[in-house]
């Protein structure tokens, strides 16, 4: 069956609480990947490496009163890290497709005393309820990969950002080469299991961005800083075969298979984990 916006919403509604439980770091409200740089010492630090990188990019746009939005905000982890560290920022917005995630993020904001500073809402990041040119920076972490039509994401981000604003994306990108049979198998399993129809090559992503008035400023590969847990191909293939035959219908099963497939893809360099930063130059064409 084709992956749709509704099926992606259901995937996260059914899985988010399990993701938080399995991650072992629910207090951080973080379901994103850890990055282990040379100076990273703790799990908490590893969870926030991408957030710190995003914060630095936002501060390079405007040192004070930054107007920001997290499109595909999950349960709010990035905003909870970034917003309090900015100098006198404007109230921020976090948007997620999942009502379950929106509720969890709102509850966490209240617990942290940030409910008047960060507003979380359920919605589609291709139709954001904010005025045009109202933001200095827009960012997304592991979210654009879920876009059914990723070009619409860039069109909407361009509408939201002022000229000179930044678009920051941390996500998976398809390697720009032909895959062999084994590589294609794992790539397809990743797309299917994780509900990520929007994975594109960096080159295609730049085409989308340029069309809507963006210019690439940074292309930083983060894959070397992941701690991969790939399996021997025969064992992984056996688990994939058995998993696809299981009669269990809960969305956690394809998610687990997709996670395994992603590890194989990253190890085989079929998928790359990158941070792309774009500046809005004009309104596009």
Confidence of residue 1 (pLDDT cuts 50, 70, 90): confident
The pLDDT assigned to 26 comes to 47
pLDDT digits (tens, 9 = 90+) for 230-243: 899 989 999 998 88
Domain ranges for the chain: 5-173+196-227+271-280
Q: Which residue has the tokens 């360099």?
A: 269
Confidence of residue 21 (pLDDT cuts 50, 70, 90): confident
Residue 244: CB atoms within 10 Å: 13
Q: What is the CATH code of the structural domain delimited by 5-173+196-227+271-280? A: 3.40.50.150
Confidence of residue 31 (pLDDT cuts 50, 70, 90): confident
Gap between the Cα atoms of 237 and 210, Å rounded: 39
The pLDDT assigned to 207 comes to 98
Average of per-residue pLDDT values in the chain:
94
The least confident of 38-42, 157-161, 277-281 is 38-42
The pLDDT assigned to 24 comes to 57
Which carries the bigger pLDDT value, residue 226 or residue 20?
226
Helix H segments across the chain? 5-23, 43-47, 49-61, 77-82, 99-111, 150-160, 181-194, 202-211, 233-245, 252-267
Q: Is the pLDDT of residue 284 over 90?
A: no
Helix (H/G/I), strand (E/B), else coil: 191: helix
pLDDT digits (tens, 9 = 90+) for 122-151: 999 999 999 999 999 999 999 999 999 999
pLDDT digits (tens, 9 = 90+) for 240-276: 988 888 777 777 888 999 999 999 999 999 999 999 9
Tally of CA atoms within 13 A in the half-sphere of 11 that contains its CB: 21
pTM of the predicted protein model: 0.94
């Amino acid at each position: 069956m084709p992956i749709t916006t509704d099926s992606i919403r259901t995937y996260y509604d059914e899985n988010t609480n399990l993701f938080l439980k399995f991650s072992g770091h629910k207090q951080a409200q973080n379901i994103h990947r850890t990055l282990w740089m040379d100076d990273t010492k703790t799990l908490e630090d590893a969870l926030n490496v991408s957030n710190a990188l995003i914060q630095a990019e936002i501060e390079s746009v405007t040192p004070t009163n930054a107007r920001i939005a997290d499109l595909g905000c999950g349960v709010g982890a990035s905003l909870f890290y970034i917003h309090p560290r900015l100098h006198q920022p404007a109230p921020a917005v976090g948007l997620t497709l999942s009502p379950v995630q929106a509720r969890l993020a709102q509850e966490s904001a209240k617990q942290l005393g940030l409910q008047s500073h960060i507003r979380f809402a359920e919605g589609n990041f291709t139709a954001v309820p904010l005025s045009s040119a109202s933001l200095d920076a827009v960012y997304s972490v592991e979210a654009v990969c879920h876009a059914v039509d990723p070009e619409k994401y860039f069109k909407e981000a361009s509408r939201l950002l002022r000229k000179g604003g930044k678009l920051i994306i941390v996500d998976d990108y398809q390697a720009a080469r032909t895959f062999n049979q084994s590589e294609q198998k794992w790539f397809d399993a990743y797309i299917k299991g994780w509900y990520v129809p929007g994975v594109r090559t960096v080159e295609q992503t730049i085409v989308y961005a340029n069309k809507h008035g963006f210019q690439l400023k940074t292309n930083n590969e983060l894959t070397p800083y992941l701690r991969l847990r790939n399996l021997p191909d025969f064992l992984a293939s056996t688990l994939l075969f058995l998993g696809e035959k299981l009669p269990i219908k809960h969305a956690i099963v394809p998610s687990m298979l997709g996670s395994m497939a992603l590890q194989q893809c990253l190890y085989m360099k079929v998928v790359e984990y990158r941070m792309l930063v774009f500046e809005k130059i004009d309104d596009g064409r």
